[in-house]
Structure formats: structure tokens, C-alpha cells
Amino acid sequence: MPSLTHLDDAGKASMVDISDKTPCLREAIAEGRLLLHPDTLRLIRENGLKKGDVLAVARIAGIQAAKQTQHLIPLCHQIPLSKVAVDFDVTGENVHLTATVKTTAATGVEMEALTAVSIAALTIYDMCKAVDKNIQITDVRLLSKTKTPLP
């Protein structure tokens, strides 16, 4: 049976040793969904047509959070990210969020992509909570993860 990698033999937490891992080009894409009232979604969309500020703020919050992942998730390594992008699709039913993160480091960046999605979603929540009392963040998960050797 597999064991939890962050716990050593005695069950104690530690950062997994990645000294021997080879740097590669790595990419991870994560997604999530924010359930909002149709009126709130309309407000976001209309504002988006004018200034786009709610989504612009959430995009920046997600990008900055990706770069903070190592301080938020205790056993994550410090990984220099070569790209972070956060995107939104506002439908009549929800906001669909995706985050794409790339690195050329020795370990993957799925936690960075998931953190970007989560904080971007919380930022939209924060900016809409005065007009919508039933917001929900859901379906936060990894969409894809790839690894290709560096040239």
C-alpha cells in the first residue's frame, strides 16, 4: 500500500528531498468554479464590459498567491515560476476559473495552480459578498500536468 510521501517512518512531517530530481519544463493547469446568483453574475459581466475590475483584481490576487504557495502550504518547495496566468469564463450560472503555471524546476507546480484558483475565487467572493449571501466555491481540481525534458 502506498504511503503518504510527506510523512517519514515515524509519521513526522518533513519537506520531501528533491536534491536528486532533474529540472524539467513543467506545466500544471487547475480549475475551479464559483457559484453565484444570476444577478451577481450579471453585475460582474457588465462591469467586465466597462472596466473588468472584479476579474482584474481576482486575476492579480491569483497570480500573487501562486508566488506565495511555498509560504502558504507548509511542505511545498520554493519554486521559481516562469509563467502564471489566471482566466475566467463568466456564464449565466457560475464563474469558471483556470490557472496555468509553468516552471523549469525539479518538482511540479500543481499546488501553485490550485492555490492561484483558490485565492482568485476567494477574491471574487470577497468583492461580491455584500450583494450575494450564498456564494460557493466548488470543483477545485487539477486539469492537467505535464513534464518535458529541458533542451
Helix (H) or strand (E) holding 16: none
Hey, which residues between 103 and 132 contact a copy of itself (CB under 8 A)? 103-106, 110-111, 114-115, 118-119, 121-123, 125-131
Given the residues 20, 39, 53, 126, select the one marked as catalytic.
126
- Residue 93 CB, shortest distance to a copy of itself, in Å, is 16
- Residue 140 CB, shortest distance to a copy of itself, in Å, is 4
For residue 93, state whether it binds a copy of itself (rule: CB under 8 A): no
Cell, residue 121: 475565487
Exposure of 130 in the CB half-sphere (CA atoms within 13 A):
2
Q: Which residue number, 56 or 91, has a Cβ lying nearer to a copy of itself?
A: 56
Q: Which of 57, 30, 63 is nearest to 126 (CA)?
A: 57
Hey, which residues between 73 and 92 contact a copy of itself (CB under 8 A)? 73-87
- Cβ–Cβ under 8 Å, residues 57 and 118: no
The position carrying cell 476567494 is: 122
Q: Residue from 18, 89, 93, 147 that binds a copy of itself (CB under 8 A)?
A: 18
Helix (H, G, I), strand (E, B) or coil at 31: strand
For residue 97, state whether it binds a copy of itself (rule: CB under 8 A): no
The catalytic residue positions are: 126
